[in-house]
Structure 1
Amino acid sequence: MRNREELKRHPMFVTLERIALYMDKYYIDGVIGLLPAVGDVFSALCTVPFVYFTLVVARSVPLTLAVINNTLRDILVGMIPFFVGDVLDFFYRSNSRNLRMIIGFVNGEQRIVRDVNRKAWQSVAVMIILIALIVLMIVLLMKLGTWVVSLF
């Protein structure tokens, strides 16, 4: 891992702070989630800089796995139909969680480093389950949409 101060001054780190600020503190994630499918895709795309930073800049696979895990949870929660997922998006704040985790890891906070390293392999199993649940949710939402259309 690079020098801690160097990582915090990295231009991508500033981008991460801005994404977390706008998406979570200003509730853009929850508001844009009101747009079916588009909101979830946009929210997922906002995680790309986090993954890049953890994998390429911080050079930590366990940290990257933890960031991806948080993102998949956010996507799954956001996909809950009838605006329930959208309401929950206001509270989950995955970008802020990811930023706090990255800062703690970069600062060498033992609790966070230990948790990230311990959960690295658990994250892989959880991600596989979350991906399966996301696919299942897509299938169910498509069936629900077909059923609703058939009513008319």
Structure 2
Amino acid sequence: MKSASKRLRGKSARDGEATLTGESAVLTELQLGHPSLRWVDRYSRLLDTRFRIPGTKVRFGLDFILGLVPGAGDAISMGLSGILIATMARNGASPRLVLRMLGNVGLDALVGTIPVLGNIFDLFYKANHRNLLLLREYYVEDKHRGSVWPILMAIVIALIILLGLMVMIFVWCINAIMNLF
């Protein structure tokens, strides 16, 4: 894994700029040479920063659009984020990094279940893009290594727990709305 780590470091495609613009690749040129990581970069930007609101600098992606579909959209978005994290784990992300990434996705998913506020939060938080920045930083610091299976099991368990929490919050919100009428 050590030789792979040296190959995956290098100059950023954005010259080290760690912003949430999403206009170009986030990972380094060397990292983008790895097919799985290139896919992660493109897919993360598609989910969080692919489109721009005309006349503004505000960017959004499919995660925001899916969040507009009550309940199911957030669950689908969380599943897509889980696929991204699993791919990152297969490419050397440590259990600690995966937990940080799951925290980002968990916060995005939980707040995303709250009508209107969750959509606004999704527009600005961009959990998948944040995770991509974490992955780039992690590779540049040459810390990636570790066993994949415990990480993947943690992802599955965390996603199941998050899905359960999302369903509970969604049901609570629907009940609160119904009690108003």
What TM-score comes out, normalization by structure 1 length?
Answer: 0.71
Cα deviation 1:65-121 (Å, max 9, x = unaligned): 11111100100121112x1211211100111100000010011179xx9xxxxxxxx
Q: How far is the alpha carbon of 1:20 from its aligned partner?
A: 1.9
Tell me, yes or no, if structure 1 residue 105 matches structure 2 residue 123.
Answer: no
Partner of 1:29: 63
Partner of 1:11: 35
Partner of 1:44: 78
Partner of 2:121: 88
Are the equivalent residues in 2 in contact too, given 1:54–1:60 (CA < 8 A)? no
- Looking at structure 2, the residues matched to 136 and 108 of structure 1 have their Cα atoms a distance apart, in angstroms, of 39
Provide the secondary structure at the position in 2 that maps to 1:46: helix
4 and 72 in structure 1: CA distance in 2 versus 1, 3 angstrom threshold: farther
Provide the secondary structure at the position in 2 that maps to 1:47: helix
Are the equivalent residues in 2 in contact too, given 1:50–1:98 (CA < 8 A)? no
- Looking at structure 2, the residues matched to 10 and 49 of structure 1 have their Cα atoms a distance apart, in angstroms, of 17
Structure 1 vs Structure 2 CA RMSD: 2.8
Are the equivalent residues in 2 in contact too, given 1:47–1:95 (CA < 8 A)? yes
Tell me, yes or no, if structure 1 residue 65 matches structure 2 residue 65.
Answer: no
Match of 1:20 among 44, 66, 78: 44
Partner of 1:56: 90
138 and 48 in structure 1: CA distance in 2 versus 1, 3 angstrom threshold: same
- Looking at structure 2, the residues matched to 57 and 73 of structure 1 have their Cα atoms a distance apart, in angstroms, of 24
What TM-score comes out, normalization by structure 2 length?
Answer: 0.61
Partner of 1:122: none
52 and 62 in structure 1: CA distance in 2 versus 1, 3 angstrom threshold: same
- Looking at structure 2, the residues matched to 55 and 33 of structure 1 have their Cα atoms a distance apart, in angstroms, of 25
Q: How far is the alpha carbon of 1:133 from its aligned partner?
A: 5.9
Deviates more, 1:17-26 or 1:70-79: 17-26
141 and 31 in structure 1: CA distance in 2 versus 1, 3 angstrom threshold: same
Count of residue pairs brought into register by the alignment: 131
Q: How far is the alpha carbon of 1:38 from its aligned partner?
A: 2.1
- Higher share of residues assigned helix: 1
- Looking at structure 2, the residues matched to 108 and 24 of structure 1 have their Cα atoms a distance apart, in angstroms, of 25
- Looking at structure 2, the residues matched to 92 and 14 of structure 1 have their Cα atoms a distance apart, in angstroms, of 22
Which amino acid in the other structure matches residue 87 of structure 1?
Answer: I
Q: How far is the alpha carbon of 1:136 from its aligned partner?
A: 4.8
- Looking at structure 2, the residues matched to 20 and 4 of structure 1 have their Cα atoms a distance apart, in angstroms, of 23
